[in-house]
Structure 1
Amino acid sequence: MKVRVITSPQNPRIKDIVRLRERRCREKKGLFLVEGFKEISMAMEGGVELDSLFFCKGFFRGGEEGLLASVEARGGKLFSLPPRLFEKVSYRENPDGLLAVARQFHRGLEDLVLGASPLLVVTESLEKPGNLGAILRCVDAIGADGLIVCDPVVDLFNPNVVRASRGTLFTVKVAASSPRETIKWLKDKGIEAVITTPHAPLEYTEVDYRRPTAVVVGSESKGLTPLWTEGFSLKVKIPMLGRADSLNVAVAAAVVLYEALRQRREGSD
């Protein structure tokens, strides 16, 4: 393998990695960071193009040599860093010695492949990377057909989205769209939008999710816009019996999605 060694924090490539923590730089260069053996492996399985891989053998835990060879075989450049320099570019508390620079990918609604009775998740204006990552994990866990991200405040390629998703950003079909385009697309496809709101008349268990369904969740601070709350009649809530008036958006999405999974599994028996 051809490995280049970098020892100085003033190296231009090191400076570029640090800049990729900023959304503006990621968007300008069309690149993003993927850290960790599992996440990088899943990115490669998902067909993500890796521009380069930075590593430090001092943090390796076993099995990394095969990954290095695979990255190089696909055209990625390899760079070896000393421990202190790797800690500078890593965004994890306990790094495993692997950090990749990957090329961004973009999908639209037309790229979603739907099953006979699709189950989708739609998010609108999510603000926190941890929540978007957690929703990605849930979409992957229940085998949903995909995630539609509408007008996100948070960048899909934020390093914390990648980390919180545990690599499922690369296994879930994610499409970006506007709310208006998504609403039209759902209606054209005959997919029922289930609107989650604390003021709904129905509890989330009172809905039939076995038909084509899109579970729609809104921003952490403002919820869904009137385009959704006034444009669809099927609204559900999760009962709140204590002092809190709502759940974390990722938790709420998981609760509704696992009810959908339960119904679909029982309906197929």
Structure 2
Amino acid sequence: MSTPLQPQRRRLDSSKNPEVRALAKLKERRARAREGRFLVEGTREVTRALEAGRALERLYVCPERLRDEGRALVARCQAEGAASVTELSPAAFRVLSHREAPDGVIALVRTALTTLRDLQLAADALVLVVDGLEKPGNLGALLRTADGVGAAAVFATGAGTDFENPNVIRSSMGSVFSLPTLRAPAAELLAWLRAQGFRLVAATPHADTLFWDAPYTGRTALLLGTEHDGLSALWLEAADVRVTIPMGGLADSLNVATAGALLLYEALRQRRRRAP
């Protein structure tokens, strides 16, 4: 039987505790937007948030579920004064958790208020724009890939999911914290990209240029839409280049996360080939 980490530490046992119930509301997007806070679950994800400089308001831990790496994270937070720690009973922790096999760590994190004016990008920055993406798993996978190729930022437009969705954080494996992410109105983002000198490369089945034949060096913004509807007319009409991914079987399109990975790694290939 696991015992509390420290007998004197604050502990919430009831799943109906007002604080626990208030935190559970942050599972919903509307509450996250209203409160300006969100939950990050998992030792790896919380560690990456911490290492990215995100401020942890509080760490909630279930001693009965903690593993060695979770205990190490708690010790680090205490040693660095990164966050106060509250223990939860297994019943209270289940109210907050999204996972079938949680590892006993959830952090309360304040939303980063980043604006387009805050971004200072390199002269050859590669960014990703996702338009109307609704599936958190796809957005999370794209964030992992964008992080993997060293993209400078990921932007979201349209009525898609938010970057603080618990399933986005989980499927990104914490990569959502490793690069700037920003949701902005499409027209505003387009105007900013134009002012910043970005070449716009739109992925669409209705194009003549194969994706590996397009240039991705210099300031480049890759544009991806939903699998069902594709990019909005605004982005398609604004694109400098439209590219397509060849399909040789019965399927007429790829999963958007797979399509994005192809474009992002082609951009990386071209950039490495041109590097001195």
Give the TM-score range, shorter chain.
Answer: over 0.9
State which of 63, 67, 71 in structure 2 corresponds to 1:65: 71
2:93 to 76, 86, 90: 86
Alpha-carbon separation, structure 2, partners of 1:104 and 1:28: 11
Pick one of 25, 50, 65 that aligns with 1:19.
25
Determine the structure 2 residue equivalent to 1:111: 118
Give yes or no for contact 1:3–1:80 (8 Å, CA) kept in 2.
yes
**Counterpart for residue 3 of structure 2:** none
State how 1:1-269 maps to structure 2 within 5 Å: 3-72=9-78, 73-74=80-81, 76-268=83-275
Deviations 1:211-249 (A, max 9, x none): 221100012321111111112241000001111111111
Q: Indicate conservation of the 8 Å contact 1:135/1:253, yes or no.
A: yes
Q: Could you tell me which amino acid in structure 1 is paired with residue 70 of structure 2? A: E
CA offsets, 1:36-60, max 9 Å, x none?
Answer: 1111011111222212211112222
Structure 2 alignment gaps of length 5 or more: 1-5
* Matched-pair contact (CA < 8 Å) for 1:59–1:97: yes
- SS of structure 2 residue aligned to 1:41: helix
Aligned residues: 269
Inter-partner Cα distance in structure 1 for 2:175 and 2:159:
18
State the percentage of identical aligned residues: 40
Structure 1 segments (4+ residues) deviating >6 Å: none
Deviation at 1:26, TM superposition (A): 1.2
Measure how far apart 1:75 and its partner are: 5.7
Q: Give the aligned residue type for 2:247.
A: M
CA contact (8 A) 2:128 2:223 kept: yes
Partners of 1:227 and 1:215 in 2: CA distance: 14
The separation in 2 between residues aligned to 1:254 and 1:168, in whole angstroms, is: 15
Residue 187 of structure 1 and its aligned partner are, at CA, apart by 1.6
Q: Distance in 2 between matches of 1:84 and 1:183?
A: 47
* Cα separation, 1, equivalents of 2:239 and 2:151: 21
Task: Tell me the secondary structure at the aligned position of residue 3 of structure 1.
Answer: coil
Q: CA RMSD in A?
A: 1.7
**C-alpha distance in 1 between matches for 2:236 and 2:69:** 49
CA distance in structure 1 between the partners assigned to 2:142 and 2:17 by the alignment: 37
* Distance apart, 1:95 and its partner CA: 0.8
Distance 2:113 2:27 in 1: 19
Q: Could you state the TM-score of these two structures normalised by the residue count of structure 1?
A: 0.94
CA distance in 2, matches of 1:191, 1:84: 50
The CA distance in 2 between the partners of 1:125 and 1:113, in whole Å, is: 25
Q: TM-score, normalization: structure 2?
A: 0.92
